[in-house]
Structure formats: C-alpha cells, structure tokens
Structure 1
Amino acid sequence: MRNISTRLLIACAAIGVAGGVLFTAHAWIGGLTVNTIPFLYGITMGLYFLPGALAQALFHRGGVALLTASLSGLVASPFQPIGFLAFLIGIVIGLIQELPFLIARYRVWKTWLFLVSGLVSGLLTMGAAFGILGGQNYNLGGTILVVASFFISPVIFTGIALWLARALDQAGVARGLRADERRGDGRQVDD
C-alpha cells in the first residue's frame, strides 16, 4: 500500500472497529448456535468477510482488505472466547480477500471479481467447517445444508458489502480516497 493517507487509515479503522464489534457479537451468539443450529451459524459466518470486502469495494486500493479485516480481528480479540486467534483469523481472511485482486494486479474492481473472491472464501470456509464441525457425522441432508450454508455465506456478505459500498460512495465517504480516482488511470471499475 503506497501513498496511505491518514484519512484512508481512519476510514479503514472505522470499518475495522465496526467489524470487530460484529465479530464479537457473532462469536458469542455463534457459540450458542454452532452445536444446535449449525445451518444458522454457517449462513452468518460470512459476516467475517464483510469489513474487508467493504473496504475494497469502497476504496479500490490494494491492501485495504487485509488492513481492515486484521483490525476487525484485533478489536474483537479481547472480547472473544478464542482470544488472539481472532486477530490471526482476520489476517487470513484479509489475505484471502486480497488474492483475486492481487492476481489482477489491483487493476480490476468489477463486481464479478468481488464475487470470485466471495466464492474462493466460501470454498475455504466450507472445507474448514466440514472438518471442524464433523460434517461426516451428519446425515446426507444435514451435511448438504451445513456445507451449502458455509459456502454461500461469504458470497452473500460480499454482496452486502458491495451494496453498502455503493451507498457510502453516494454519500461521499470515498471521495478522494480511491486510487483509480486520484490518478485518473482508467482502471476498470464497477459494471
């Protein structure tokens, strides 16, 4: 991340703190539902992908997903049952979200690439959930339901992040913070 302004850092921190509050609430509520209603836990698991995707969609800059997701995990760490592991999970989520945009060299910010990022995140989340929750111990219908909920959840929350980013952009939150806007370099942006 080159040319990081204080304003960009503050905006990412604000999104990160809000994400940390959501992470904490989800951790405590999710702790109650993971063993009783794993489908509900799975469908809300994508919440962890919201802050990073929001920062990427709003600012169109490399590294903001990693920064924002890491800050969310750091803010949530003292209040979560898993402690500092929340910060490490935030880092991993941010890295996963950065990967498709890094491959595109941070030149493409189209909706489809965000959805690819959500699908990749969903595949990884689905695989982890299957192993951690013991998906092989459910009947076929239960396994499909749990696996599908963990797969689709990051995609859903990436879509919510895109919607929020559009609303915040219309309110002028990102004005002057997008790298492609500041340089006028003609990078591909939203459809």
Structure 2
Amino acid sequence: MHRTSTRVLLSCAAIGVGGGLVAGASGYLAAAFAAFGPLLYGITAGTHFLPSVVALALLKRPGTAVLAGVIAGLVGAAFAPWWIGRFVGTGLLVGALIELPFLITRYTRWDAWIFYASAAFAGLVLAIAVFIGLGAEHYAWWAWAIALPLWVASPVLFTWVGRVIATRLAKAGVAQSA
C-alpha cells in the first residue's frame, strides 16, 4: 500500500484553498454571465482547473489533482453554500479528467502537451454537458459557435496559468521533497 505523506496532503490543501478562493469569486461572475451574457459563461470554466493543474504539475503524484479540486470546491462553496454540489462536483470531475491521461501513462510522463490535451478534452466534456443542460434548441447556431470554443479555450488558458504557477512554486522550493 502506498502511503501519502503529510507534506503532499498539506500541499494539496493549500493549493485547494487558494483555488477555492478563485472559484468562489468566479462563481458569482459565472452567475452574472449566465444571466446577462450566456455566450460568455464558458470563460469562467477554466478557473476550476487551476488547483488541479497546479497540484498535479507541482507534486507529480496520483490523486493530487482530484484532492486539490475537491478541496477547492469545498472552499468555493463557503462563499455560496447553495452551489456546493456544483463546486464540489466540478472540482471532482475536473480533477479526474485532468488526471486521466496521466493514469493511462501510469504517471510516468509529465509532458506539457498532456496537460493541454487533457484540459481541452475536459473543457469539451463540460461544454457538451452545458450544451445539453441549457437546451441547445433555445439558442441560434452562431451563439453556440461562439460559446462552445470558449468552453474549450478557457480550461486550456487556465491550465497554462496553473503550469506557470507550479513552475514558479517549484523554483521557489515549495513542495521540494513532497
């Protein structure tokens, strides 16, 4: 049985809390977009990727993306308890989708393109779910032609931001022997 160190758990908690603060704020922005500019709603989806990407890129350990994502969801829900299911569910789903290609490679490859392909795939999964959830028939084709690419681009952009943060944290010596 593989044991997870306290350093890894505390690092995931710290990353999750930081990501949860961002998620809490973006939740209100997402609600505003959903009400007043639903085409732009997908822009906020990428913020849910930050804690999972930072944790996985920094710690390079199985399960860290899922753990950081769930913690971020719990922290984000503190700002809007009525959205607890959305925050925790999104953190869990995003963490699992981000980790999937690394699981397939048995966590032996950490190439940047894997992070970006994973984020694009996860964004597409979320886009399709929202597409079905909002009712595609209520919007013109051109509205979806604008909205769906945002759902894919936002996670890729925030994955880049998360990898930059992880690189800077690693250079600063954070989680050195985690």
State the TM-score, normalizing by the size of structure 2. 0.92
Asked if residue 60 in structure 1 is aligned to residue 73 in structure 2, the reply is: no
Q: Could you tell me the percent identity over the aligned residues?
A: 38
Alpha-carbon distance in 2 for matches of 1:78, 1:169 = 29
Residues 12-161 of structure 1 mapped to structure 2, 5 A cutoff: 12-80=12-80, 81-161=82-162
- Taking the aligned partners of 2:84 and 2:176, their CA distance within structure 1 comes to 36
CA shift for structure 1 position 167: 1.1
Q: Separation in 2 of the partners of 1:89 and 1:158?
A: 15
Moved segments of 4+, more than 3 Å = none
Measured in 2, the distance between the counterparts of 1:45 and 1:89 equals: 9
Aligned-CA RMSD value: 1.6
Contact 1:129–1:150 (CA<8 Å) still a contact in 2? no
Structure showing the higher helix proportion among its residues: 2
> What is the deviation of 1:49?
1.0
| Structure 2: unaligned runs, 5 residues or longer | none
TM-score (norm 1): 0.86
Q: 1:106 and 1:166, CA in 2 relative to 1: closer, same or farther beyond 3 A?
A: same
Q: Say how many residue pairs are matched.
A: 177
Contact 2:48 2:90 in 1 (8 A): no
Following the alignment from structure 2 to structure 1, what is the Cα–Cα distance between the partners of residues 112 and 75?
Answer: 29
CA contact (8 A) 1:97 1:121 kept: yes
Q: Is the 8 A contact 1:78 1:84 kept in 2?
A: no
> For residues 85 and 142 of structure 1, do their structure 2 counterparts lie closer, same or farther at Cα, with a shift above 3 Å needed?
closer
In the TM superposition, residue 94 of structure 1 has moved relative to its aligned partner by: 1.4
Q: What is the alpha-carbon distance in structure 2 between the residues aligned to residue 156 and residue 73 of structure 1?
A: 20
Give unmatched runs, 5+ long, in structure 1.
Answer: 178-191
